[in-house]
Chains A and B, each alone.
Chain A
Amino acid sequence: MARTHLGTRIRENRKSKNLSQKDLASLAGISASYLNLIEHNRRSIAGKTLIALAKGLGIDAQTLSEGMDTSLIDRVKRSGLKMRGFAIETDRSAEFAARFPGFARLIARLQDQVDQQEQQLTALADQMHHDPFFAEAMHLMLSNITTIRSTAEILANETDVPIDVARRFMDNLRDEANRLSTTVSDVLEHFEPSSETQSMTQGTLSFEALLEQNNHFLTDLEYKTTSADALIENTDGDSADRDKLRASINSYVDMAHRLPIDPFMEQAKQVGYDPLVLAQMLNTDISSICFRLAHMPTDADVPKFGLLQCDGSGAVLYRKQLSTFNLPRFGGACALWPVYRCMSQTGQPVSAFLDMPTGERFYTFSISYPVAPPQIGMPAQNESIMLFTANYELLANANFAALPQLAVGLQCTVCPRPNCTARRDAYLLGKS
């Protein structure tokens, strides 16, 4: 591959300098026929000949030999392949990159930007899909529209609606239209860019998107069929974003290395996925066990765990949500969740059932643990973690019946529970 590109590059450089083969051959001290073979990629060159030709062309030998960037060609080619419906000569990508390196770099750069934006859109669409406020608002708007449509159809199509019923339906229409406009305003306000969402980095988005796309189990990293570097290679963004992505991927690799998935799955099944027993059995910390449990292959007889990790202020450090249990990215979650309660008793695990307003029930295991050594005069630095699952029938816990059952919500703005002592925001969608 490299030899082919080098010959083509020499030819293109020579042509761009208006040199004949004879001229360049003479400058490099080789025969014109030998140069012809080199330019047609029938002879490989290195050493003195390469240096002489580079000198004859007035360019650096290293640039000439290494300048043909295969990743550039691949990106140009990929860009062509993605544009279906156009007869693009993708088989001539190498030639194009050699003849027009500036344009090739431009195309590659534009393609990178398109890829990055696609990734971002996927992550944002996913975020919207999991946004509990948005899901609730959509449901409410559809209910509003259903009422308006049904009521309007009755008024428009039925000829003998009693006058008092017609009046009531008119009132219903007005009230429902008002509710609809309020909901739409709430949705618009909710999606107004905030400083929080603006500060969200591409690195965080990329890793969350990567995990979502792979059902939170990165097979290639688990079985070392790819490296962290290879995964990061195609990700755009500034260096801070890439560093963040690299750190996230490296911690995943570390987890996969310390707790290899196949033996872990067997051991976890044996002990009914009990984090405390597993931590003792594998002589490791409880948070690592929780992370490992939240990143296992999807299988019918394996419980699907979600995970929330917070720092001492309640800020979200890491989250893995379930399709039925959405986690807000920036605090604002239900204050009754045990992940917050356990912060007051470091090292004391808390198990509880959470009952959602929708009727769904989740088993949770939460614990708070120190993240920095204690220092006199300094407050303790703790984090806490909450593991949760709806598949609690697959767990081994003889004391399920004795566990507290907490009536909670996701966050106040989408929680219709009346008279909640932990409420700090109003239920935005006005159903109560």
Chain B
Amino acid sequence: MAKSVTIIEDEPFIVEALTFLLEREGLRVSSFNDGEGSVAFIQKTRPDLVILDLMLPNISGMKILEDIRSNETLADLPVLMLTAKGQKKDRAAAETAGASLFMTKPFANSELVASVLNLLKS
């Protein structure tokens, strides 16, 4: 069965582009556009990997990451965080909070796809 990815991102056009790219790699993709309710969505969809934007409405990506890591059933879930360039503090905080990988916006499609595939393999 194809592996699945959940994208938590509030920018619909970014979601659309990422969905296109990942589906071409044979992955199943679902998405959620709000911080609030995202952990419940992840629990429901049970993906193999989450792509999580740091700046989300209502609940920040950092808080969602903390909730994922403190949830027994999701603690080992690979999480790829996306954020704006130059947010060194956020990057350090996300690494401490347990992000599997960190990518800055704007990213190259090939790098993002390669990172997702690598995380899914490991």
Interface residues of A (CB under 8 A from B): 138-139, 142-143, 145-147, 149-151, 153-154, 157-158, 165, 168-169, 172, 175-176, 357-360, 416, 431
Contact = CB atoms under 8 A, between A and B. Distances in A.
A147 B17 contact: yes
Contacts of A151: 13, 17
Contacts of B105: 142-143, 145-146
Interface stretch (B40-48, B57-65, B68-76, B94-102): B57-65
5 nearest A-B pairs in the assembled complex, by CB-CB distance:
A359-B59, A150-B17, A146-B106, A147-B13, A146-B105
Contacts of A175: 13
16 contacts: A142-B106, A145-B105, A146-B107, A147-B11, A149-B107, A149-B108, A150-B14, A150-B18, A151-B13, A153-B108, A153-B109, A154-B109, A158-B24, A359-B56, A416-B57, A431-B10
Chain B contact residues (Cβ within 8 angstroms of A): what range? 20 to 34
Contact of B17 (A169, A358, A416): A169
Interface of B: 10-11, 13-14, 16-18, 20-21, 24, 35-36, 55-60, 63, 84-85, 105-109
A169 B24 CA distance: 16
B112 to A, nearest CB: 8
Given A145-B105, A150-B106, A359 B58 contact: yes
Contacts of B18: 150
Given A147-B17, A175-B13, A139 B55 contact: yes
A357 B14 contact: no
B16 A172 contact: yes
A65 to B, nearest CB: 55
A66 B56 CA distance: 65
A359 B13 contact: no
Nearest to A162: B20
Given A142-B84, A149-B106, A359-B63, A176 B55 contact: no
A26 B20 CA distance: 99
Contacts of A153: 108-109
A147 B21 CA distance: 13
Nearest to A136: B55
A145 B56 CA distance: 17
Contact of A357 (B57, B63, B84, B108): B57
